Amino acid sequence: MATSWKNGTLAYNQKASLSLYTLTFLLATFIEVMVSVIFARSVHTLLSGCNSVPPIGEPLLGESTVENIEFVDTLCFYAEMSINDGLLMWRAYVLSQSKKWILILPFILLPGFFVTFVVVTFLSPVSEIDTLFAFATIVSSVANFVATCLIGYVYWIHKKDMALFFNGETRRSKVASVLSTLVTTGVILLVLQAIYFPMNSTNSLEYTRDRSQASPIDTEDMTIPIRKRGPAKYSDRI
């Protein structure tokens, strides 16, 4: 009945404090790895002599600086995606009555993802982002799929209690309960990611195809003749 679902909600609130330790560990792991990678990358840049002053006439931001900016931007994107996966796994962990075996998956996926990211980054050029993006997409898809299956399984067990719980309220409180359920379980996040990843993959494929079909630029055809300053000739005045 609806009472069992309300008791489950109370148990959810009681176990949330315990699950915060898991979330804190995942966030601490992310912060530690991110700071270590950025610090190591900065030291590598300084030791490579990239901090020298560029000559006059060259841009202030050199090629190495642009690569470092792209590196940090890519790292932030992967970090955001991993945090979203961690939150979704945390919700699945709490809703499944805090079963410890569920913790095996995030402990393997999230720290393993960062370790692989560091290894691939330092063993391959920074410009090779496609491999990292494909790996991050696979890890994120697996984490979201497993978490969604766990959440769906829990809600399938309590489907009768949920129907009684939602039908016994007013229309306004029913809408609020449905929205709260969607946000709490991470369904909205999953829908947004399901929309984002195909669109981003399509844009990446179109960008790669356009670059492969583009012809090399001929610098001789792009030269623009510039007339020197000075008094015009008599033939030019006519």
DSSP 128-174: --HHHHHHHHHHHHHHHHHHHHHHHHHHHHTHHHHHHHHHTS-HHHH
**How many domains does the chain fold into?**
1
Residue 196 lies in a domain: yes
pLDDT above 50 (res 221): no
Percent pLDDT > 70 in the chain is 6
What's the confidence (pLDDT) of residue 151?
Answer: 72
Residue 236 lies in a domain: no
Q: Which residue has the higher pLDDT, 79 or 54?
A: 79
95 CA to centre of own chain: 24
Residue 238 lies in a domain: no
What's the confidence (pLDDT) of residue 145?
Answer: 72
What's the confidence (pLDDT) of residue 52?
Answer: 47
Q: What is the mean pLDDT of residues 148-174?
A: 65
Residue 80 lies in a domain: yes
C-alpha to C-alpha distance for 28 and 39, rounded to whole angstroms: 16
Residue 226 lies in a domain: no
pLDDT above 60 (res 89): yes
Q: Which residue has the higher pLDDT, 218 or 182?
A: 182
Q: Which residue has the higher pLDDT, 153 or 3?
A: 153
Q: What is the mean pLDDT of residues 62-74?
A: 59
C-alpha to C-alpha distance for 138 and 135, rounded to whole angstroms: 5
C-alpha to C-alpha distance for 152 and 159, rounded to whole angstroms: 10
Residue 156 lies in a domain: yes
Residue 137 lies in a domain: yes
Comparing 52-56, 151-155, 157-161, which segment has the lowest mean pLDDT? 52-56
CB 132 within 8 Å of CB 78:
yes
Residue 37 lies in a domain: yes
C-alpha to C-alpha distance for 6 and 80, rounded to whole angstroms: 33
Q: What is the mean pLDDT of residues 112-116?
A: 62
Q: What is the mean pLDDT of residues 39-65?
A: 51
What's the confidence (pLDDT) of residue 25?
Answer: 52
Domain extent at residue 121: 2-49+62-210
